[in-house]
Structure 1
């Protein structure tokens, strides 16, 4: 039985407000004609101020934490207690360069509309009083655009901040420690952002799907089962630089051709595997002269999978194939792992309540909404170290993301707001 009593007109108005605010935030950018907001920048400060204003508008007490995240809280309706654990709902407000306007942002704005609906339901004597506080989180650095390390804001909240990150520097040579101070934050107080497991009931995040599965299936919403495990490598292929005209083919040890064959091998192996995605996103040849056989090549490998074991098995297969390729070509290769993130499973109870939310929000051909795993990373990965996480995906036409053509419809946002609010109420009913 659905627990949310809000009218379709009220939900539609909430969706229109979300879409308008996405447009408003898109105008807060470091680059004219593009969307770019990076960590600890003037644009970060501006969107935090806007988020704080919107949080207070729906009745949340708002504050900026020691890592620059903007947070808001409303106390539980049964026996209000500032120390009571909270259900956290949120996403991030930072962007990649030349970004779209919905990735992350829409999850924060939908969370605010969920709070608005919950308060309206409460004022009308809701059938389900909230036995927990609700917090909205606008995380500050999910993308890692400025310092090359993703999930900085949510990692601070999860208590997994690494002091080695203080020496990370942006493209202008400004270190993370210096940027903190310039922003008005105290690096020595970063630990104050950390939350303990007993502070939180759970974490919910709504996000556009960064792929085409929902669009291809004609479905507006999906339950997320897990967030992909990921490993990233920087590979070096060593050969011999020689004169392009004077070196016959049987004497060439061309590092670029070896690296190119390696890139094709990554694609071939990963295409044959279920739920494994491999990408070579960078490829450079040295010395880089038009008339020199490349003596060295650098390439990246980004490997993602639904399960850690499958991902690691595929990397082992890729490694064996690279041994064969380089052996045939008289080359050497080595890999340096630069990122390793385990898969994060969404909590079974949270999958259930999100499923219930979608069932009550969407008129469907069957009772079971789609269940898919996220091939992209999210703040839920960091928060998953201290509490159970759940995610709701919204349809993204053609699956375009991290690009100005990123899209979502107001109609799907309305369905998502209803589903997410219903999920919160279902979780509340389960805990009463």
Structure 2
């Protein structure tokens, strides 16, 4: 049996390599939403789905969807999904691994001629990373009926609106509401994903059960002072925007370190307008990414850092613009589904490790309409969003065995109607 799982893992790895060869750039993997490379990659996955005998379609937001039907037309739908868009200079596994593992599961069910008490829909979400339009979860928001049509006016770096991008892709924004799975028709949701953290790597355990997904708040800050000559403006008379930003960056780090237990704070972007070595920075833009699985802790951190930023700006005679650009609440995974997935891990012979995901996933919007669970898979040193991303074959084989068992348990415990 272990040989069978390794053979399946090898086939998934081959597909991972083929898909990774399609990229906007030669270094790493870059397939951002709606680009020619994204469309080429999606077409390749669609050919694999169709070769397996699965009816497929591309919906209005560009999600690739395949469906294995139950004999019961009134059965509910269980969704297997992850995303196939990437960040810039990404690795091969973040997102696509879950999609291709889902395809492998369906291939096995087809080969077994399995009698399903529920429909299974495999979805390759088109936009989870949100790189092009600075959005997140576009694909899953459409499937869950939560899409905000105001986003259609959002523009990318080239000035192309999301609405225009959909038209170029062959989509129709006016039809997006029809692509949602009604809440009453959902049975549940299962996403398989690399851990994106070092716990499994350090403990040498192939899989983990995700109990919750951290909430996020993303902020754009602009510090506006006064540009001036580096040699002529006295230190006591300066309105240095970069010094204000630097003080904020270090305080954000110190605050998260002092208020741990899951809270993390990151300043990932810093832009100095009209930067020059002999000019006092007059305007600096930076970002703040706050995450915690505890909503109260997240809200407290947000208020504390906002108050600090306002407090440091005035003495420096610097103006602060604070703009909240995105927020999601922490999400708890479904306890009944997690119980089944935990049982599958145990029965397959592995230690059950429970983890909170600090990264966002499409399970976040899905959890508003359906029970959701996630399986993490060990990855090389926990590295993600990086060309060094890697998964070892034995770990993938173990994850396949767990996923097989989970679907088997779900089938036996789902009543037929």
Aligned to 1:186: 172
Per-residue deviation, residues 271-309 of structure 1 (Å, max 9, x unmatched): 122101110011223442322222332211011111221
Note the C-alpha offset of 1:83.
4.5
Instruction: Measure the CA separation in 1 of the matches of 2:25 and 2:321.
Output: 38
1:224 aligned to 2:210? yes
**Which residues of structure 2 form unaligned runs of 5+?**
none
1:262-341 correspondence runs (5 A) = 262-272=248-258, 273-341=260-328
Aligned to 1:74: 68
The number of aligned residues is 414
Of 364, 367, 370, 1:387 maps to 370
Note the C-alpha offset of 1:328.
4.3
Instruction: Measure the CA separation in 1 of the matches of 2:296 and 2:326.
Output: 16
Q: Secondary structure at the match of 1:329?
A: coil
Of 324-333 and 66-75, the range deviating more from structure 2: 324-333
Aligned to 1:35: 29
1:42-81 correspondence runs (5 A) = 42-76=36-70, 80-81=71-72
Per-residue deviation, residues 233-253 of structure 1 (Å, max 9, x unmatched): 111223333332222222223
1:18 aligned to 2:9? no
Aligned to 2:391: 408
Are the aligned partners of 1:22 and 1:101 in contact in 2 as well (CA < 8 Å)? yes
Of 61-70 and 272-281, the range deviating more from structure 2: 61-70
Q: Secondary structure at the match of 1:405?
A: coil
Instruction: Measure the CA separation in 1 of the matches of 2:266 and 2:96.
Output: 26
Per-residue deviation, residues 168-223 of structure 1 (Å, max 9, x unmatched): 22222222111211121122212121111122200000000111121122221100
Are the aligned partners of 1:59 and 1:74 in contact in 2 as well (CA < 8 Å)? no
Aligned to 1:359: 346
1:378 aligned to 2:376? no
Q: Secondary structure at the match of 1:195?
A: coil
1:212 aligned to 2:206? no
**Which residues of structure 1 form unaligned runs of 5+?**
1-6, 124-128
1:153 aligned to 2:139? yes
Note the C-alpha offset of 1:100.
0.6
Instruction: Measure the CA separation in 2 of the matches of 1:282 and 1:38.
Output: 19
Per-residue deviation, residues 301-342 of structure 1 (Å, max 9, x unmatched): 011111221111112222233344334434342311011111
1:260 aligned to 2:251? no
Of 104, 107, 121, 1:113 maps to 104
Aligned to 1:166: 152
Are the aligned partners of 1:208 and 1:396 in contact in 2 as well (CA < 8 Å)? yes
Are the aligned partners of 1:241 and 1:254 in contact in 2 as well (CA < 8 Å)? yes
Per-residue deviation, residues 103-145 of structure 1 (Å, max 9, x unmatched): 000000111111223334446xxxxx53111111111111112
1:104-143 correspondence runs (5 A) = 104-122=95-113, 129-143=115-129
Instruction: Measure the CA separation in 1 of the matches of 2:220 and 2:212.
Output: 26
1:233 aligned to 2:219? yes
RMSD: 1.8
Instruction: Measure the CA separation in 2 of the matches of 1:44 and 1:300.
Output: 27
Are the aligned partners of 2:55 and 2:66 in contact in 1 as well (CA < 8 Å)? yes
Aligned to 1:201: 187
Are the aligned partners of 2:33 and 2:126 in contact in 1 as well (CA < 8 Å)? yes
Instruction: Measure the CA separation in 1 of the matches of 2:371 and 2:317.
Output: 50
Q: Secondary structure at the match of 2:128?
A: coil
1:287/1:53 Cα in 2 relative to 1: closer, same or farther (>3 Å)?
closer
